[in-house]
Amino acid sequence: MISIKTVNDLVLDILDKNNGKYLTGEEVTRLVNISSQELFDELVGITNKKLDGRTNVVYGKSQNTDRRLNPFRTNVTIPVVSGEALLPSDCGKITSVLISRDMPVALKRIDEDRLGMIYGNPLREPNDEEMYYLEDTEGLQILGALDSVHVKYLKRPSPALYAEKDETITAGSRTVVRKVYDEDNSVDLEWGEGETLDIVNRVLAKVSIPLRDQFLSQQVQVAKINE
């Protein structure tokens, strides 16, 4: 996992070196979560588009990219009611749909056009043993006699939180209250530590500060080359 405090400290340190700009804990939290979701969407191909509008999927192209997404792999058994299975709200990308956890036989993914071609071909009788699934905006349409399916998927990143608490400092007759990091109520990022610099770079870009630190910049570029 990535410490939200580490990200906050790196961001503020680089901002201070460049122009003295300061971000509150709330602002850091918001920008970090936007950046985290942005990175996830790019890796699974949601926002990484070609010029013709087709998705340029990164996920599955290399072991390195697959490894980066390991913290988000999960699975669940979902009941099928009237041929429909509702997906979990945190589902970001389906990797496979199986008959069951104990019977890892995969259903075939299909789209509406191909489904129409299969069942509209008079030379090809529908086969009850063939099972397909069709993705829609809310869940899966299951084509096959199943009461449930086992879905493996990549869940979306959970929100991180840089929490703060008041600390009172007394010096003589003077009392000052300041905000300090609250470790107990903070929530770290689920990404592996190797994604720290990428997240930091994305946060800085959103406050119009380029990553000028040569070492950090090189590390981010190396990570992109290895994708």
Angle, alpha carbons 181-187-189 (nearest 5°): 115
171 and 104 within one domain: no
Is there a domain that residue 26 lies in? yes
The pLDDT of residue 31 is 96
**80 and 146, same domain (yes or no):** yes
pLDDT for position 131: 82
Contact present, 83 and 142 (Cβ < 8 Å): yes
Q: Residue 67 has what pLDDT? A: 87
For residues 179 and 145, the answer to whether their CB atoms sit within 8 Å is: no
In this prediction, residue 132 carries a pLDDT of 85
- Count of alpha carbons within 13 Å of 166, Cβ hemisphere only? 4
What is the predicted pLDDT for the residue at 51? 46
Mean pLDDT in consecutive groups of 10 residues from the start of the chain, 227 residues? 94 81 90 95 75 53 78 95 92 91 85 58 54 85 88 95 92 85 96 92 82 52 52
**Are residues 93 and 140 part of one domain?**
yes
Domain that holds residue 87: 74-155
Predicted confidence at residue 115, as pLDDT, reads 57
How far apart (Å, rounded) are the C-alpha atoms in residues 102 and 94?
Answer: 19
Q: Is residue 68 part of a domain?
A: no
Say if CB 160 and CB 187 are below 8 A apart. Answer: yes
Same-domain status, 88 and 151: yes
Per the domain annotation, does 43 fall within a domain?
Answer: yes
- pLDDT for 114 equals 58
The 10 Å Cβ neighbour count of residue 99 is: 16
Residue 172 located in a structural domain: yes
Domain boundary among 155, 180, 205: 155
Last residue of a domain, one of 155, 173, 194: 155
**176: in domain:** yes
The answer on 219 and 202 residing in a single domain is yes
145 and 188 in a single domain? The answer is: no
Q: Pick the last residue of a domain from 140, 155, 170.
A: 155
Q: Return d(Cα 169, Cα 159) in angstroms, integer.
A: 31
- For residue 140, being part of any structural domain is answered with yes
Return the CATH number at 111. Answer: 2.40.30
Q: Tell whether 90 and 145 lie within a shared domain.
A: yes
- Asked if 197 and 179 sit in the same domain, the reply is yes
pTM confidence score: 0.77
Residue in 77, 75, 100 with CA at minimum distance from that of residue 90 = 75
**Domain count of the chain?**
2
Tell me whether residue 61 is in a domain: no
Q: What is the pLDDT of residue 223?
A: 52
Strands across the sheet with 132-135, in order? 84-86, 139-143, 132-135, 108-109
Would you state the pLDDT for residue 17? 79
Q: Residue 154: which of 99, 191, 111, 106 has the closest Cα? A: 191
